[in-house]
Structure 1
Amino acid sequence: MGSTRTAWHVLLVALLSQRGSRRFEVRSEVPLSAEPLRADYLLLRKSDESSLPAGTLRRLWDLLPSEAIVEFKSIGRPYRRRNLDRLCSYLHLYFADMPERLEQRSDLCGVLLVPSRTRSLDADVAALGLAWDDLGDGYWQLRGAAFALIVVEIDPVAEAEDDDLLRLFGHGEARTREARRWLAQQLGAEEMAMEMQDLEGFDEVVRKLVATLPPEQVLAAYTPEQVLAAYTPEQVLAAYAPEQRMAGLPPEQRMAGLPPEQRMAGLPPEQRMAGLPPEQRVAGLPPEQVLLALPDDALRALSDAYLETLSAEARAAIRARIGR
């Protein structure tokens, strides 16, 4: 699509550089785009048109002239500012280079496929002085450009036409076995997979496929170690009942992290005290309760005069034990 360079081009560069304004730098053969001038898709109307209805984007095809340049903006690489300018430039360059096929501007149109309208797209439409014509169900036409421009919002079109395959290309998730089978077939084709695996957005395609599969099919493709590696220890343990979490752990690991009252809950008194020296067993008890912890022989050694100094409850408990 570039212009043919002649000897006069070289001479003009010399003239402009030598005798042009000193306020400007003159460069020649400058690429005008950071990316190659390559449209995503070109749609060419066949001479022997089929009478079979389209299976996807059903309303689009009747809107198209003999040829259409299509730009697609995906979930992973959404519409960015000035993408509409790029589509318009493709239309002008293609029309200029195809006079034998395109007799008039109405023979060519541009199509922009987006998951949904965005603020950046709306801003570009306004900046170019274009206006939106709502064709219904997610189809739009932009008025005011040199060529017809059609915008297709994938999300509303997929819902309006109940197109489960088209949902894969928008924000929606596939709902039918047909869509799951179709996507798996595309990824299962060796040539297709090799072409896509290094491209931007391949991870999103795989995620869409995984989202259509039941969990047991997804997990069946992994070893237990691979499945567990994707989760934190807390998430793994949350999948088990308490008795399953504790199975096989030594006692000290089962009790680790529990407050003292939870460790002792359910134990009989003799097990709670087991292993403690006498001073720890009675630590913190008031004197009368310490007395009650003494064996009966020690209590019998207490005088009646001392027993009379105790509270009625403690005295009664001791007398009941020693029989006086």
Structure 2
Amino acid sequence: MGSTRTAWHVLLVALLSQRGSRRFEVRSEVPLSAEPLRADYLFLRKSAESSEPAGTLRRLWDLLPREAIVEFKSIGRPYRRRNLDRLYSYLLLYFADTPERLEQRSDLCGVLLVPSRTRSLDADAAALGMEWNDLGDGYWRLRGAAFAFIVAEIDPVAEAEDDDLLRLFGHGEARTREARQWLAQQLGAEEMSMEMQDLEGIEEVVRKLLATLPPERVLAAYTPEQRVAGLPPEQRVAGLPPEQRVAGLPPEQRVAGLPPEQRVAGLPPEQVLLAMPDDALRALSDAYLETLSAETRAAIRARIGR
């Protein structure tokens, strides 16, 4: 879409650099965008109209002229300030370079697909002198520019049209088996996987897929150690009965960290005696030992040697 550089371009920059105002720096062949001038999608109306209704964004297609330049802003890479200006610039450049197909500006429009409207999008539209025209069910037309703009908010559109596949591209979660299978098939396709594995936002796509699966199916792919890795201790044992929480631990670890009164809480008196150290047991008189049960007395005498 750039202009052809001629010898006169080179001569003019030399003239401007040598004899132009010293208040300005003159640069040539300057890229005007940090990103390549490449739209996300281009919609071209076919010569033969199909009678089959659209399955997604069902109201959008009848709103479009012959061609449309489309930009999509996702959850992971949302609308940023001046993205609308960028889309506007795409329309101007594309229209200027396609006079053989586009006779008038009404043959071309811009489409912005966003999960939902944002304050930065509203501010950019206002700065460009555009006004919002509510078409209902999440569709909007922006008026006031040289080209028409259609904005589709994915979240309300998906709800209004009950489009479970479209919900995947907004803040919603898939509700049907069809959507889960479709997403799994796309990620499982070899050519799709190779193309997507290093793309920004792949983690969000995988998270969406995992959110559609029952927890037991997700956990089945992990070992017990992996399931609890990173969880604090109280979350690892949450929901387990006390005997399962300490199962497999040696006695000293079961009571580690407990004060003495908690270690013996709930024990009958004779078992509390057995929890005492040997030096304390040796201080007990023989007369007292005779008051104990034969089993407890035998255990104490075996420990203190009398």
Do they fold alike, i.e. is TM over 0.5?
yes
1:187-229 Cα distance to aligned partner (Å, 9 max, x none): 11000011011000001001101111112xxxxxxxxxxxxxx
Give, in whole Å, the separation in 1 of the partners of 2:279 and 2:7. 126
Structure 1's 95 and 253: CA in aligned 2 closer, same or farther, altered over 3 A?
A: closer
- Contact kept, 8 Å, 2:210 with 2:218, in 1: the verdict is no
Q: Point out where structure 1 has 5 or more consecutive residues left out of the alignment.
A: 216-233
- Could you say what secondary structure the match of 2:152 adopts? strand
Larger Rg, first or second structure (1 or 2): 1
Tell me the CA shift for residue 127 of structure 1.
1.0
The match for 2:23 is: 23
Moved more, 243-252 or 169-178: 243-252
Tell me the CA shift for residue 118 of structure 1.
0.6
- Could you say what secondary structure the match of 1:70 adopts? strand
Structure 1's 282 and 117: CA in aligned 2 closer, same or farther, altered over 3 A?
A: closer
Aligned with residue 283 of structure 2, among 271, 293, 301: 301
Structure 1's 253 and 141: CA in aligned 2 closer, same or farther, altered over 3 A?
A: closer
After the TM superposition, which residues 262-281 of structure 1 pair with which residues of structure 2 at under 5 Å, given as runs? none
Give, in whole Å, the separation in 1 of the partners of 2:81 and 2:231. 59
Tell me the CA shift for residue 96 of structure 1.
0.1
The match for 1:114 is: 114
Structure 1's 155 and 239: CA in aligned 2 closer, same or farther, altered over 3 A?
A: closer
Tell me the CA shift for residue 49 of structure 1.
1.1
Give, in whole Å, the separation in 2 of the partners of 1:270 and 1:8. 90
With normalisation by structure 1, the TM-score equals 0.69
Give, in whole Å, the separation in 1 of the partners of 2:202 and 2:46. 32
1:147-201 Cα distance to aligned partner (Å, 9 max, x none): 0000000000000000000000000000000000100110110000110110000
After the TM superposition, which residues 34-45 of structure 1 pair with which residues of structure 2 at under 5 Å, given as runs? 34-45=34-45
Structure 1's 239 and 107: CA in aligned 2 closer, same or farther, altered over 3 A?
A: closer
Give, in whole Å, the separation in 2 of the partners of 1:114 and 1:239. 34
Structure 1's 15 and 273: CA in aligned 2 closer, same or farther, altered over 3 A?
A: closer
With normalisation by structure 2, the TM-score equals 0.73
- Contact kept, 8 Å, 2:68 with 2:109, in 1: the verdict is yes
After the TM superposition, which residues 1-324 of structure 1 pair with which residues of structure 2 at under 5 Å, given as runs? 1-215=1-215
Give, in whole Å, the separation in 2 of the partners of 1:185 and 1:88. 35
1:282-311 Cα distance to aligned partner (Å, 9 max, x none): 999999999999999999999999999999
RMSD, matched Cα: 9.1
Give, in whole Å, the separation in 2 of the partners of 1:5 and 1:322. 104
The number of aligned residues is 306
1:57-104 Cα distance to aligned partner (Å, 9 max, x none): 000000000000000000000000000000000000000000000000
- Could you say what secondary structure the match of 1:266 adopts? coil
Give, in whole Å, the separation in 2 of the partners of 1:187 and 1:299. 70
Structure 1's 194 and 254: CA in aligned 2 closer, same or farther, altered over 3 A?
A: closer
Q: Point out where structure 2 has 5 or more consecutive residues left out of the alignment.
A: none
- Contact kept, 8 Å, 2:141 with 2:149, in 1: the verdict is yes
The match for 1:224 is: none
- Contact kept, 8 Å, 2:130 with 2:144, in 1: the verdict is yes
Structure 1's 19 and 199: CA in aligned 2 closer, same or farther, altered over 3 A?
A: same
Tell me the CA shift for residue 320 of structure 1.
30
